[in-house]
Structure 1
């Protein structure tokens, strides 16, 4: 095989590795490319307790597939808080249509993200949630990025990862599809979002993460391949984390 053919085969392999996950997502029912944003479902997913019926403090972290074609590759993440005795939740998130990009507004914590049903990544209640809220309110004014950039960041996932790194109570592993979580701006080395390891990242475009919770992640242009030996799982662009239960679902007990 001559050099040109080897390069061509290598290029086709790379394209296959990059495209396989998003193509599988396209075939799933989680992505609806034809739904206009103004017609998308924004109702509650039923994951958060009613604020009026929950006297204790609550902190939750959510992730949902990004809107339109972006959902083939990535999720959008956000944080919701409710102090003890409060009758409403406050949703903290970064979006591309606000200036500054970071907002903290009263809202529905588990609202479907432009049609996509969210997954709850973390649920804190009681005293630990109260301490987390105090920490969150203290560091929010320090968020350094007033603007939004879809790739490689800073974006919504950059914010959530930034916040998780600075609030010890937020012990959460962000999805490998949270593109932008590895954007460190001018820093090259940082603690992993979970706080259980470290990562090397060049502006979120290329990097390596090794941590107990996340396992090993290789970031190439924002797309993450990885493996988690401690909690057996494979990480693939577009698909995210794949466990044995995803391949061989356990039968539900009757």
Structure 2
């Protein structure tokens, strides 16, 4: 009976995931980032969204977006494992006006948001920290380095951010292993 209960529980858990096909999962903007065409101030945003598929029950995926004063787009910095599997660096950056897109069906939440003069002062420090990230070409789901290690490491390099990562940011503790 316990075995049957376990099988049913796992089946229910896996079937309850709303984003089980990455090709059709939403990547629409969540509408929580300041729009560059409306906000001229510098902006720093850290986001977290439930990880893809069943992993979202336990963990989040996190990323960083910065917009310099008067910029028309954000620069997003993100770490993903599938890039490493393709022979590419885990860490990458891209430009977008919508840094708050759903993470394959999961709506992001702001972990941190800083605007104005403080953001303008800290953006160069963030960019410098990104350039020094020691695991830019590595990705390991557990214990790390992974997508949660990266923003945590940035927060440790730029303590003025006062970044407080979510409990479910599995792999964030790996950032203390700076080599």
TM-score category of the 2 structures, normalised to the smaller one: 0.7 to 0.9
Equivalent-residue separation in structure 2 for 1:77 and 1:186 (angstroms): 19
Which aligned segments of 4 or more residues in structure 1 are displaced greater than 2 angstroms?
A: 184-187
2:158 equivalent to 1:173: no
The verdict on how the C-alpha distance between 1:48 and 1:184 changes in structure 2, with shifts beyond 3 A counting, is: closer
Q: Report the counterpart of residue 48 of structure 1 in structure 2.
A: 33
Q: Is contact 1:45-1:112 (8 Å) kept? A: yes
Q: Which runs of 5+ in 2 are unaligned?
A: 1-5
Please give the residue correspondences for 1:1-254 in structure 2 after superposition, counting only pairs within 5 Å. 26=13, 31-32=17-18, 35-98=20-83, 99-107=88-96, 108-145=98-135, 146-184=137-175, 186=177
Q: Which runs of 5+ in 1 are unaligned?
A: 1-18, 188-254
Query: SS of 1:156's equivalent?
Result: coil
Q: Is contact 2:153-2:176 (8 Å) kept? A: no
Q: 1:169 Cα deviation (Å)?
A: 2.9
- Please tell me the root mean square deviation across aligned C-alpha atoms, in Å: 2.3
Equivalent-residue separation in structure 1 for 2:13 and 2:41 (angstroms): 40
Q: 1:85 Cα deviation (Å)?
A: 0.6
Higher relative contact order (CA 8 A, sep 6+): 2
TM-score by structure 1 length?
0.60
Equivalent-residue separation in structure 1 for 2:150 and 2:163 (angstroms): 14
Q: 1:97 Cα deviation (Å)?
A: 2.0
The aligned length equals: 164
Equivalent-residue separation in structure 2 for 1:37 and 1:118 (angstroms): 16
Q: Is contact 1:131-1:169 (8 Å) kept? A: no
TM-score by structure 2 length?
0.84
Larger Rg: 1
Higher strand share: 1
